[in-house]
Structure 1
Amino acid sequence: MAKTILHTADSRGKADHGWLKSYHTFSFASYHHPDRTHFGALRVLNDDRVDGGQGFGEHPHNNMEIISIPLKGELKHRDNMGNAGFIKPGEIQVMSAGTGIYHSEFNNNPNEATEFLQIWVLPNKRNVEPRYDQAKINYREQPNQLEQILSPSAEDQGVWIHQNAWFHIGLLEKGNSTEYTLKDPANNGVYIFVLNGSVRVGNQILDKRDGYGLWQTERFTLEATANAEILLMEVPMEI
């Protein structure tokens, strides 16, 4: 029988820095919850809102797979690998920090806030050569199915990371359902994050920004009880 864990939206940690408002599903910075430090290799799931004209100055990372998914507005990215440009809704960005990177992220629009998910996954290889990539996401154009946006393979659909992990995203219209089959059910679990709307997984109803982890299972069904956008993150449970 599957094991599960529920993290409701209102149970998340919250940080308000004025220009930055962030909700933390897992322990991060000054927010620490001893029972919520990670879900397997999924270490950070931050739901960030950056005011217009504000952003994160240059700062370092190492030995972490860092994924950003914009939900509203744009982020200007710059790093010491020579990458510079914008990421916006309909895209996913990944950085393998490896031996060390420096980067900055800014909302260049003075009149509109930017909202994005910042996700950290623990890598299965340390001290790799740093790398950067971004790719398009088309799930809103193909509703009622899941689109793979991340995997362990550079030859597969979406971006890739140094971990036995797969991310999928989808738009489910009310009354529709889809089944997810784990890629590695013997070792992995799936963390479901509801971006918008409401879904049912088994007997559990999940609403906007709720998180729900499942492991020791091969598959499960998602049913939209309202129009819903969902992010599924399959990651190894042992780290």
Structure 2
Amino acid sequence: MKTILHKADERGHANHGWLNSYHSFSFAGFHDPAKIHFGALRVLNDDTVSGGMGFGTHPHDNMEIISIPLSGDLEHNDSMGNTAVIKKGEVQIMSAGTGIYHSEKNKNHGEAVKFLQIWVFPKLRNIEPRYDQKVFLEEDRKNKFQTVVSPLDSNDGGVGINQDAWFSLGNLEKDTETTYQIQNEGNGVYAFILEGEVEINGQKLGRRDGLGISETNVLQIKASSNAEVLLMDIPMKF
């Protein structure tokens, strides 16, 4: 088993006034040669956007882009004609493929929106761009892990991604112990602790810590306090 620990206070940080962003991997002005990517996981940004502000229309290609709101309402528009608002409990994904333009903004003027912006390298390049979003009931992740992202050709219940990747969210009460079976041989898991404290395969983790785990088949997870955890099960080679 191999592990790589990314402590919350070691992340890149950029505060642009309207946007306060923490980067688990190299992004924009933050560059760390040891934090370029973890397997197919390229970007994990923890973003807070001020009321009424947002990311103007900009392009992407050949990247899987996942947004997971943590609070507030995130408004989306893209060149495929999609207009949507997503909030906590929902997950959005875009396969940029041959190329798209999109914007993301805080729909509300009176409160911030907090969300995770995640980029994953695609399995197939230059596909037709696609967009999807889905609502997930939080009660379905109480003391267990709920699949919220899964491969397009699977029937695993998540929003479809153009990669052999599975994302799962778990809300664990203190002292809950559970396991997570890695989906594919050759995959690793990047665990990101949204809230609380947990122990994964013997490693103690706190709020916003990240832990990459590879060359193993199963994770042993224990909640040291009430905790919310995101697991990203992704190919290490792609």
Q: TM-score range by the shorter chain?
A: over 0.9
Counterpart amino acid of residue 64 in structure 2:
E
Q: What's 1:80 paired with?
A: 79
Confirm whether residue 180 of structure 1 aligns to residue 190 of structure 2. Answer: no
* Alpha-carbon distance in structure 2 between the residues aligned to 1:148 and 1:111: 32
CA 141–148 in structure 1, closer or farther in 2 if over 3 Å, else same: closer
Q: What's 2:198 paired with?
A: 199
Q: What's 1:169 paired with?
A: 169
Structure 1 residue 142: Cα displacement: 4.2
Counterpart amino acid of residue 26 in structure 1:
F
Q: What's 1:230 paired with?
A: 229
* Alpha-carbon distance in structure 2 between the residues aligned to 1:132 and 1:104: 13
Counterpart amino acid of residue 203 in structure 1:
G
* Alpha-carbon distance in structure 2 between the residues aligned to 1:223 and 1:135: 28
Q: What's 1:211 paired with?
A: 210
* Alpha-carbon distance in structure 1 between the residues aligned to 2:197 and 2:217: 23
Q: What's 1:24 paired with?
A: 23
Structure 2, unaligned runs of 5 or more: none
Q: What's 2:151 paired with?
A: 152
Confirm whether residue 90 of structure 1 aligns to residue 85 of structure 2. Answer: no
- The secondary structure found in structure 2 opposite 1:226 is coil
Structure 1, unaligned runs of 5 or more: none
Q: What's 1:99 paired with?
A: 98
* Alpha-carbon distance in structure 1 between the residues aligned to 2:141 and 2:3: 29
Structure 1 residue 140: Cα displacement: 4.0
Question: CA RMSD for the aligned pairs?
Answer: 1.0
Counterpart amino acid of residue 182 in structure 2:
L
Q: Percent identity?
A: 57
- Asked if 1 retains the 8 angstrom alpha-carbon contact of 2:140 and 2:146, the reply is no
- Asked if 2 retains the 8 angstrom alpha-carbon contact of 1:169 and 1:229, the reply is yes
Deviations 1:29-84 (A, max 9, x none): 11110110000000000000000010011000000000000001001100010100
TM score, norm. by length of structure 2: 0.97
Structure 1 residue 188: Cα displacement: 0.5
- Asked if 1 retains the 8 angstrom alpha-carbon contact of 2:68 and 2:115, the reply is yes
* Alpha-carbon distance in structure 1 between the residues aligned to 2:202 and 2:158: 31
Deviations 1:62-110 (A, max 9, x none): 0000000000100110001010020100000000000000011111211
CA 42–8 in structure 1, closer or farther in 2 if over 3 Å, else same: same
TM score, norm. by length of structure 1: 0.97
Question: How many equivalent residue pairs?
Answer: 237
- The secondary structure found in structure 2 opposite 1:213 is strand
Q: What's 1:33 paired with?
A: 32
Deviations 1:168-190 (A, max 9, x none): 10100001011000111x31100
Structure 1 residue 201: Cα displacement: 1.1
* Alpha-carbon distance in structure 2 between the residues aligned to 1:65 and 1:221: 28
Structure 1 residue 156: Cα displacement: 2.8
- The secondary structure found in structure 1 opposite 2:9 is helix
Deviations 1:181-215 (A, max 9, x none): 0111x311000000000101122111000000110
* Alpha-carbon distance in structure 1 between the residues aligned to 2:124 and 2:63: 9
- The secondary structure found in structure 1 opposite 2:26 is coil
Structure 1 residue 161: Cα displacement: 0.9
- The secondary structure found in structure 1 opposite 2:190 is strand
Deviations 1:103-138 (A, max 9, x none): 111112111000000000000111000000001122
Q: What's 2:70 paired with?
A: 71
* Alpha-carbon distance in structure 2 between the residues aligned to 1:66 and 1:82: 17
CA 209–150 in structure 1, closer or farther in 2 if over 3 Å, else same: same
- Asked if 2 retains the 8 angstrom alpha-carbon contact of 1:150 and 1:168, the reply is yes
